[in-house]
Amino acid sequence: MARMDTQSEHGNAIDFFVIASPKSGTTWVQKMLCSHPQVHCAESRLYGLYFDPRVGASTHLPLEQYVRFMSGYHQPAGDECSREAYFDGLLDRLVGAIADHAREHSGKAVYGEKVTPYPGTAAHVLGQVRTRHAGARLIHLVRDPRDVIVSGMAHWRRALAVQPTDEPHRYEDEDLLFSDLLDHWVEVQSAMIENGDGVLVIRYEDLVREPRTVVGRLLRHIGVDASEAVVSRCVEENTFEKLSGGRQRGEIDDSSFYRCGTAGQWRGRLTAEQLACVQEMAGGLMEGRGYRA
């Protein structure tokens, strides 16, 4: 109950956040963190004002947006309580309850969330994280936007094939899909740069090349055991070969969530026109993260 009571004052129900644009390797990082004996990493979609009821067979609805919907018909207790303060506190309590429940069922004391903000919500999500979890450790996982686009396009082709919609989906138009994936990467990078104080930046490419070095740095950042044995456990339990069901890293299967597991797959897959668009829209941000055109 003590943890729950702190949430209305924006206490630290969550110890860390791993933040990235979609298709940057967050699921891999999440699984490695969950292999740590002290750490549980979830994806609860806590923050963001976003609602899309037509994403295949699912609905995209962050907890914050749900509470906002709820505020339209739920009457707060007591006339003296302002609706805004009431539902703001309710959101904190719900976040705290999710974190406490996860700790109880995982048996692990350190709890974090992976976050891939929905389109148009990155700055708001980062603001909520900074305000409501001021002491949380932040990790920004970044990946070359060209590989993000290639992976994202494969993901949506697979999703639309598995979960066809009654009406034509926006992403059946690959030009729109390409544009949205690029815009989303730029949006998340820009938000992270603006909120970059104290953030550990790790690159997907470095994680692929030197997983133990990067995972060790990540674990030290969140303040847990980063001994050689623990780092090895986190890495070895989540190799590409194990996650993909036996394929070797670099062996491409566009029908799999774990598609390839390597960097540089954009070569030969994006057109010259697309590459020029990436350079125009994201060239400066790419250079700042060490990516060459």
Strands, E assignment, the chain: 16-19, 39-42, 52-55, 58-60, 110-115, 137-142, 199-203
Q: Is the pTM of this model over 0.85?
A: yes
Residue 261 in tokens: 């597991």
**Between residues 244 and 39, the one the model is more confident about:** 39
**Between residues 1 and 161, the one the model is more confident about:** 161
212: helix, coil or strand?
helix
Burial 20-59 (b: 16+ CB within 10 A, else e): bbbbbbbbbbbebbbbbebbbbbebbbbbebeeeeeeeee
Q: How far is CA 43 from the centre of its chain?
A: 8
pLDDT at position 11: 53
162: helix, coil or strand?
helix
14: helix, coil or strand?
coil
**Between residues 103 and 167, the one the model is more confident about:** 103
208: helix, coil or strand?
helix
Q: How many CB atoms within 10 Å of residue 251?
A: 15
- Share above pLDDT 90 across residues of the chain, in percent, rounded to a whole number: 67
Mean pLDDT for the stretch of residues 109-117: 97
Most confident of 48-62, 67-81, 107-121: 107-121
Half-sphere exposure of 123 (CA within 13 A, CB side): 6
At residue 139, does pLDDT exceed 90?
yes
Q: pLDDT tens digits for 231-242? A: 999 999 998 888
Which neighbouring-strand residues pair with 17?
113, 138
Q: Compute the distance between CA of residue 148 and CA of residue 291 in angstroms, rounded to an integer.
A: 13
Of 50, 52, 74, the closest CA to residue 62 belongs to 50
Q: Compute the distance between CA of residue 156 and CA of residue 173 in angstroms, rounded to an integer.
A: 11
Q: How many CB atoms within 10 Å of residue 127?
A: 14
Half-sphere exposure of 15 (CA within 13 A, CB side): 19
**Between residues 58 and 113, the one the model is more confident about:** 113
What's the mean pLDDT when you consider all of the chain? Answer: 88
Residue 117 in tokens: 């903000």
Half-sphere exposure of 50 (CA within 13 A, CB side): 21
Q: pLDDT tens digits for 11-51? A: 569 999 999 999 999 999 999 999 999 999 999 999 999 99
Of 33, 35, 64, 34, the closest CA to residue 51 belongs to 64
- Domains, the chain, with CATH or none: 2-288 (3.40.50.300)
Of 255, 248, 256, 275, the closest CA to residue 264 belongs to 275
49-53, 87-91, 159-163: least confidently modelled range: 159-163
Q: pLDDT tens digits for 114-128? A: 999 999 999 999 999
At residue 1, does pLDDT exceed 60?
no
